[in-house]
Amino acid sequence: MTGRLIIASNRTAAPGEARAGGLAVALADALSERGGGVWFGWSGDIVEREPRGAHVFTEDGVEFALADLTQAEYDGYYLGYANRALWPVFHYRIDLAQFEEADFAAYEAVNRRFGRLLAQFTRPEDVVWIHDYHFLLLGQEMRASGWSGPIGFFLHIPFPAPEVFSSLPQHQRLARAMAAFDLLGFQTDRDTANFRRYLIDTHGGELLEDGRIAVFDRVLTAKTFSIGIDPDDFAALALGDEARAAAERVGGIIDNRALVLGVDRMDYSKGLPQRMEAFGRVLDDNPDLRGRSSFLQIAPPSREAVDAYQALRVELDRLTGRINADYADLDWVPIRYLARGYPRETLAGLYRLARVALVTPLHDGMNLVAKEFVAAQDPEDPGVLVLSEFAGAAEQMPTSLLVNPHDIAGLAEAIHRALLMPLEERRERWQAMDASIRETTIAWWRHAFLEALDTTRPDA
Distance, CA of 87 to CA of 104 (rounded, Å):
13
Our CA angle for 251, 255, 260, nearest 5°, is: 65
pLDDT at 55 exceeding the cut of 50: yes
308 vs 141, higher pLDDT: 141
For residues 252-276, average pLDDT: 94
Task: Quickly state the pLDDT bin for 40 (edges 50, 70, 90).
Answer: very high
Distance, CA of 115 to CA of 67 (rounded, Å):
11
Q: What is the secondary structure of 182-245 as a DSSP string?
A: SEEEESSHHHHHHHHHHHHHHH--EE-TTS-EEETTEEEEEEE------HHHHHHHHTSHHHHH
Cβ-contact 269, 91 below 8 angstroms:
yes
User: What number of residues does the chain have?
Assistant: 460
> Across the strands, what pairs with 46?
69
Q: Which residues, 6 or more positions from 143, have their beta carbon under 8 angstroms from its beta carbon?
A: 151, 180
For residues 2-21, average pLDDT: 80
Among residues 57, 26, 30, 54, which one has the least CA distance to residue 42?
54
pLDDT at 457 exceeding the cut of 80: no
Task: Quickly state the pLDDT bin for 311 (edges 50, 70, 90).
Answer: confident
pLDDT digits (tens, 9 = 90+) for 154-176: 999 999 999 999 999 999 999 99
For residues 47-57, average pLDDT: 88
Average model confidence (pLDDT) across the chain: 94
Task: Quickly state the pLDDT bin for 303 (edges 50, 70, 90).
Answer: low
Q: How many CB atoms lie within 10 A of CB 41?
A: 23
Catalytic residues: 156, 364
List strand residue ranges (DSSP E) for 12-76, in order.
37-47, 55-59, 62-70
- Give CA separation, 267 vs 88, 186, 264, 302, in Å: 10, 21, 8, 7
Count of helix runs (H) and strand runs (E) in the chain: 17, 16
For residues 96-124, average pLDDT: 96
Among residues 453, 451, 446, which one has the least CA distance to residue 30?
446
pLDDT digits (tens, 9 = 90+) for 182-202: 999 999 999 999 999 999 999
Q: Residue 1's pLDDT is what? A: 47
24 vs 93, higher pLDDT: 93
pLDDT digits (tens, 9 = 90+) for 329-355: 989 999 999 999 999 999 999 999 999
pLDDT digits (tens, 9 = 90+) for 367-404: 999 999 999 999 999 999 999 999 999 999 999 999 99
Cβ-contact 130, 180 below 8 angstroms:
no
For residues 131-136, average pLDDT: 98
Q: Residue 20's pLDDT is what? A: 56
Among residues 184, 128, 178, which one has the least CA distance to residue 151?
128
Percent of the chain exceeding pLDDT 90 equals 87
